[in-house]
């Protein structure tokens, strides 16, 4: 039985990851800002719910009063807009949650993580390529990969690994918000907007949360003990 922490576990990908580990019999803690969302994730499963703001150093540190074997830094958020029009506040907000949040989470995890531990960041295909309207998001997610690849080298001799999963558009609230944004920006139907959003994926469909879960499950497995500093694309061939 592993002790697993999933940040952003109150919805979407994080919820699916938490359910996977709980169903495997692991001891799961889900963390996020909204306790009600975390409790919804828990439902009738055995799970601990803890509030955290991953952008706040003390709040993150408090989560690690006990060690975890698997830490999934999944909490994140998006902002769209062309770089030329982006406000500094939006830039700072997305960097704080997507990049500083992962840094604070992994740094705190390392204070008491034992040999064989697993650090897994939910990054994005936007960690591996840029695109119009996603400058801040993509920069934050590229930053996550820089952190993961460097940390992987630093922990290599301890039996801990550090990796990233890079999904394309996944069928969650975040992707729904992206579709809404495209509908508004181009004044087009939902059907058309969905087509545009999944257009970069050669499979021409959203990734399912369970498909991201499988990648996380692999990286957390004993068999992945030599996979370190890797960015695992789950994108239907987009990358």
**d(C-alpha 200, C-alpha 167), whole Å:** 12
68 is catalytic: no
CA dihedral 23, 208, 125, 158 (to 10 degrees): 10
Q: Please name every residue paired with 231 in a beta bridge, in sequence order, or none if there are none.
A: 164
Residue 146 or 159 having the CB closest to ligand NAP: 146
Out of 21, 64, 137, 169, the active site residue is 137
CB of 148 vs ligand NAP, minimal distance in Å:
13
Judged by beta carbon, residue 13 or residue 95, the one nearer ligand NAP is 13
Contact (Cβ atoms closer than 8 angstroms) between residue 60 and residue 54 = yes
Q: How far is the CB of 87 from ligand NAP (least distance, A)?
A: 18
To ligand NAP, the closest distance from the beta carbon of 238 in angstroms equals: 11
User: Which residues lie near ligand NAP (CB under 6 A)?
Assistant: 7-8, 10-14, 32-34, 37, 52-55, 74-77, 97, 122, 124, 167, 169-170, 172-175
> Is the CB of 53 or the CB of 90 nearer to ligand NAP?
53
CA-nearest of 149, 195, 141, 147 to 167 is 141
Nearest alpha-carbon partner for 28 in 38, 37, 36, 203: 38
The encoded tokens of residue 97 equal 């949650």
Q: Enumerate residues 6+ apart whose C-beta is below 8 A from 131.
A: 138
User: If residue 161 lies in a helix (H) or strand (E), which one and from where to where?
Assistant: strand 161-167
Please, what is the minimum distance in Å from the beta carbon of residue 185 to ligand NAP? 17
The catalytic site residues sit at 137
């Amino acid at each position: 039985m592993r002790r697993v922490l999933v940040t952003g576990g109150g919805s979407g990908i994080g919820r699916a990851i938490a359910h996977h580990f709980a169903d495997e019999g692991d001891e799961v803690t889900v963390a996020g800002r909204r306790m009600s969302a975390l409790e919804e994730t828990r439902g009738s499963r055995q799970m601990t719910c803890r509030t955290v703001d991953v952008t706040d150093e003390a709040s993150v540190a408090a989560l690690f009063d006990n060690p975890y074997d698997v830490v999934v830094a999944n909490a994140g958020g998006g902002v769209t807009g062309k770089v030329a029009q982006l406000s500094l506040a939006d830039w700072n907000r997305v960097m704080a949650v997507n990049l500083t949040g992962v840094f604070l989470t992994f740094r705190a995890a390392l204070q008491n993580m034992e040999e064989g531990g697993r650090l897994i960041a939910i990054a994005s295909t936007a960690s591996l390529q840029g695109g119009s309207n996603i400058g801040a998001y993509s920069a934050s997610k590229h930053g996550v990969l820089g952190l993961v690849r460097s940390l992987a080298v630093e922990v290599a001799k301890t039996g801990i690994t550090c990796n990233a999963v890079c999904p394309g558009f996944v069928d969650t609230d975040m992707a729904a918000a992206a579709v809404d944004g495209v509908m508004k920006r181009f004044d087009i139907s939902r059907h058309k907007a969905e087509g545009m959003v999944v257009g970069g994926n050669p499979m021409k469909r959203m990734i399912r949360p369970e498909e991201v879960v499988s990648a996380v499950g692999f990286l957390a497995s004993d068999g992945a003990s030599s996979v370190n500093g890797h960015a695992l694309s789950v994108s239907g061939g987009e990358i």
